[in-house]
Every structure is written in structure tokens, then in C-alpha cells.
Structure 1
Amino acid sequence: MAHAMMAVSPGSMLVTAADLLALATCIGVLGFRIWVVRFKDEWPQPSTAAVVSLWWLVGICLAVLTLSSVGELIRRTTEMSGRPLAEVHVVLPQVLSQTHFGRVWLLRPVALLVLWSGWSTRARLGSPMITAAMLAAACMIAASRSLSGHAADWGDITLPELMDWSHLLAASLWGGSLIGLTLTGFHSLTVAADERRQFVAAMARRWSALAGVALAVVALTGIYNAWLELQHFEALWQTAYGRILLLKLSLVLIIVVLGASNRYLGIPSLQAWAGESAGSAEPSGLLATTLSLLTLEPRRAGKHGPLERFVRRAEVEGVLMIGALLCVAILLGQMPARHQSHMPPSHHTHANNLAR
């Protein structure tokens, strides 16, 4: 099925952004439920309320994913067939059965069925098996993105696709949990915190550890993916793709500084606040001093307690993470720099995100 060279419309970009944000938030919240607010823990009633809020957020994300999956199918079908929207139904069976994108897209209905089934069951708040199955299904949807995006240019089941998928999963575990907690969970998780300080401190410590592992994977896979898509360092400022990538990296760098501040300043302060011997109310060392200056910690120390400072930094991280994911959505609609260097300027507006 031939397709014309065409630019991505704002509507298409909106569908991609909604799909990506909903997917990342869904993966992040499910991962948070499994590894941070753990099933084996005896958590107090306020935390139960927080889990309920997060679960409703997952439901909203599933609704968005369902709509965006249909929107993505319609968009790609019109692009590949060159037919108007009113005639999409005529070629839709052919797209689903005879194109690479169509076969990959069929992963989504299966995964969404598992997700909706898990979300609607009454045992959802206390069943690790259901939550794990839902997380696996969300990872399948993430795979459908990697198998039909820029990484698929190298063929099926290749290292670029694996690295792209790993990057998306790690970023979603890290960023999605930040977004989810920013939107719904922080205040309900930390309400009446003075009566359960050890639980809150342990939860923050586990969340920081999860974010640290995810960040390491994001950094390694991100370097590989950037090298693959740019191929020349100059492309960072000479191409639209590179400039958007630079903006995304700038946002991520700020998030990393804030996250490191919570890890090396916030966690020790929370441990001391909780009465744990490992904590220190005034973390020391060159790294702690540098992070303290970068985040204006001395000015805030007298105004807010350790928990409030931890939450404030995490909320800023969540907002910036939304911005970083929006940059990713724009990048998905851009032609990678590796193609732009081999094409005349008149073709640089085409987004190389069509199915093969």
C-alpha cells in the first residue's frame, strides 16, 4: 500500500501525545503499586485512599488509551492509503491484515482487554497477580509503539526496537509514577504522616530506588537511541529533530537534579524525621552541598518540613516530566536527523512515522 510524503497534523500529534502520556502514567502507577506501596505491607487507611485515587487515574488512562488506539489506527490508515476519512472503513481490513503496522496494532485490543478486565475486578486493590498481569499488558502496548515507530526501520525484533522499548518502559516507570502521584496521590499518601512516619519514609526510599534503576536504564538506552537517530553530533542543533531532543534533554536534566536532591537530601532528612538511625537531618558532602545550592534548599529548610520539601520537589518533577513526554510525542512525528541529512531541504517537513 503506497503512501504519500506528508507532514503530521496537530490533531495527529495530539493523539500521539495523549496516547503516550496515558500509557506512561498507566505503567508508572502500576509499577508504583507493585514496588512502592507493596501488597505485603500493612499500610494505614489514608494510604488505602491514595491507592483508590491512583486506581481511578488508571481507569482514566485506559479510557484515553482506548480512544487513542482507535485514533492512531484511523490516522495511519488514511496516511498509508491516501484515502479520505470517510473511506477508511473500506481499506481498514487490508491495513490490519496486510501491513506491518496493522499486525502490530492488533496487540493493542488484546492488551486493553486484559487491562480493562483487571481494572474492573473487585480484587484490584489487594491482588498482586491482577496488577502484574495489567502491567504486562501495558508493556505490550508499549511494545506496539516500538515495533511500529522509528526503531522499526531496522526490521522486526531488532536491537534498536529492544532499546527503544526498554527506554519507553523505564521512562514510564520513572516518569509515569511521578505524573500519577502529582495528579492524585501525594496529599492522600502523606496525610496524617506524623502518625506513620516510618511507613512514609520507607515508601519514599523504595520509590527513590525504583527511580534510580529506571534512570540508569533511561540514560543507557537514551544514549544509544540518540546516536542511532542523529548519527552526527552537529544534528543536535542543525535539525528540528535535534533541537527538540535538546529541549527534552534539558527538561530531563532538571528532573534528574531534583530527583538527586530528593535522593541525597530528602531521603536522609525523612529518615531522621521518622526516627531512623540511618537518617541525618543535615546531609553533608560535596554532592549534598551542590544539590542544596542548585535547589535553593537552605532557603526552604526553615519554611517547610522534610516531607513537604520532598513532595514539592517531586511535584515539580512530575510537571516537567509531562513536558518531556510532550517533546517525545513531537519527536515521534518528526523525521529523524539520520534521514534529513540524506534528503533535499524540500523534504525535511515529512514525518517518517508511517508503517512499512
Structure 2
Amino acid sequence: MAGETYALVLLSAAKWLTDLGIVWLVGVSGFRLLTRPGWPGFSRDLVGLEGRLVRYAGLALLLLVAATVARLYAQTYASFGLDEPVTGELLRVVSTQTRWGDRWVVQGAAVVLSALAWVLVMLRVGRSWLLFGAATLVVVGTTPLTGHAMGYSGGVLLPMVLQIGHLLAAGVWIGTLFVLLSVGLRSMASYGPKHGLVLAPLVDRFSPVALTAAGTLAGTGAVTALLYIDEVQQLWQTVYGRALLAKITL
């Protein structure tokens, strides 16, 4: 029982790390879109945020890479670790000779694609932020491949769409807000009297987006819960239910 509990903790932690990395990545892309030159209210002072934004994108990618590796280890432990130690050979077997592994490889390729786009951003290649945003969408789109959506008995399309929408909404709302507060406000504080003039257009532009994303987050979460929870007691009797309660609590 202890081994099964440990496996569940590993799987849950790896998933949470993955979601956190994706939310952060979407937030970076969302904030970059808000500060895109040529948009109404854009200030040249925002150009100074580029370096900080690139570093945040790199940190989000590092977290996502670590989470991707952690998911492979957690899945391998859940499959074999209860009976024998996890070895490199077992990791290879899970990643190359199972359906889960095939899907995990696709997700890993999406992360690599995002990393390559990030390198282009660092090199200031034209339209590299657009490529980075597109790569981020690919990462989000592949996330359900190793999640509970693939095991839904009523078909995988609806739960996949809901999970993608849920993650995107979380990234657009929470991720962008985090970047706005941690990167934007910190950098703009150095502008002195111009601080409010630079910040106001961003807040005005982000507010309706945040409200829409928050509503989407709540809506997709509620519909997803209805798909998997038939009775109230399943909230504490099933793995998904306990995970849902933990998410609501947080």
C-alpha cells in the first residue's frame, strides 16, 4: 500500500509540475502579446521588458523539461517500481514500447520545439515570439495525450478539448497575471513618474481577457468534473475526485 501511495504521489506531483510549467509558458506568451509593438497604448518603455521576459520563458521551459522527465520516471515507477527498482532499461521500455510512451515522446517533441523557438527569441530572429507562441500552443495541445482524457469511456475528443481549454484559460489568466506582476511591475517601477502611464494600458487591455479566461477556466473545470464524477462520494473515494478537491482547496 505504501508503494502504491508513493506512486500516486509521484504521478500527481509530476502532473502538477507539468501544469505549472505550461501555465507559466502560456503566461509569458500572453504577456508578450499584451506588450506587442503597434497595439494601442503601446509604450517604447516596454521594450526594456524583453530581457526579463526571455529569462522567464527559459525558466518555464526548464521547469517543463524537468516535469516531462519526472512524468516518465513516475509512470515507470507506477508500472514496475512496486516490484523492482527503476532502471534506465525500464525507462527505455516505458518510453519506447508502450502506448503511453509513444504519447509521451510526442509531448517531449513539443517541449523541444518550444525550446528551439526560445533559442530563436534569444537570437532576436524575426517573428520568433510568434513561433514561440505557436510552439506553446502545441505543448498545450499535446498535454491530454498522457492524461485521464485518454481513458474516458465516452470518447476522448470532449475531455481532450476541455483539458486543453482549461489549461489555456489558466495560462492566459493566472500565468499572464503572474508575469504581469512579477516582471511587468518590477521593471516598470524603474520608470518613476511614467510608471502609471506605462502600466495603465496593459491593465486595461488585460482585464477583459482575464475575465473571459477566468470564466472559461471555471466552465471547463465544471464540465470536466461532471464527466468524471457521478456521485458526491466519488470526490473523496476516487483519485480524480481527491485531485479535484485539492485543486479547489488551492
Structure 1 spans left out of the alignment, 5+ residues: 251-323, 325-356
Q: What displacement does 1:50 show?
A: 2.7
1:44 matched residue in structure 2: 44
- Decide whether aligned partners of structure 1 residues 95 and 12 sit closer, same or farther in structure 2, where only a CA change above 3 A counts: closer
1:175 matched residue in structure 2: 174
Q: Map 1:99-110 to 2 at 5 A.
A: 99-110=98-109
* AA at the equivalent of 2:48: A
3-state DSSP class of the match of 2:4?
Answer: coil
130, 133, 155: which one aligns with 1:135: 133
Give the whole-Å Cα distance in 1 for the aligned partners of 2:236 and 2:95.
38
1:74 matched residue in structure 2: 73
Q: What displacement does 1:57 show?
A: 1.2
Give the whole-Å Cα distance in 1 for the aligned partners of 2:8 and 2:118.
33
Larger Rg belongs to: 1
2:231 matched residue in structure 1: 232
- Decide whether aligned partners of structure 1 residues 189 and 229 sit closer, same or farther in structure 2, where only a CA change above 3 A counts: farther
RMSD of aligned alpha carbons: 3.0
Q: What displacement does 1:240 show?
A: 7.5
- Decide whether aligned partners of structure 1 residues 196 and 90 sit closer, same or farther in structure 2, where only a CA change above 3 A counts: closer
Structure 2 spans left out of the alignment, 5+ residues: none
Give the whole-Å Cα distance in 2 for the aligned partners of 1:215 and 1:115.
25
- Decide whether aligned partners of structure 1 residues 44 and 193 sit closer, same or farther in structure 2, where only a CA change above 3 A counts: farther
Q: Is the 8 A contact 2:23 2:170 kept in 1?
A: yes
Give the whole-Å Cα distance in 2 for the aligned partners of 1:78 and 1:238.
23
Identity %: 26
Which segment drifts farther, 54-63 or 154-163? 154-163
- Decide whether aligned partners of structure 1 residues 177 and 71 sit closer, same or farther in structure 2, where only a CA change above 3 A counts: same
TM-score of the superposition, structure 1-length normalised?
0.59
3-state DSSP class of the match of 1:40?
Answer: coil
Q: Is the 8 A contact 2:235 2:244 kept in 1?
A: yes
Give the whole-Å Cα distance in 2 for the aligned partners of 1:172 and 1:29.
9
Q: Is the 8 A contact 1:26 1:58 kept in 2?
A: yes
Query: Larger helix proportion, structure 1 or 2?
Result: 2
* 2:157 equivalent to 1:151: no
Q: Is the 8 A contact 2:173 2:214 kept in 1?
A: yes
Report the number of matched residues. 243
Q: Is the 8 A contact 1:190 1:200 kept in 2?
A: no
TM-score of the superposition, structure 2-length normalised?
0.81
* AA at the equivalent of 2:141: A
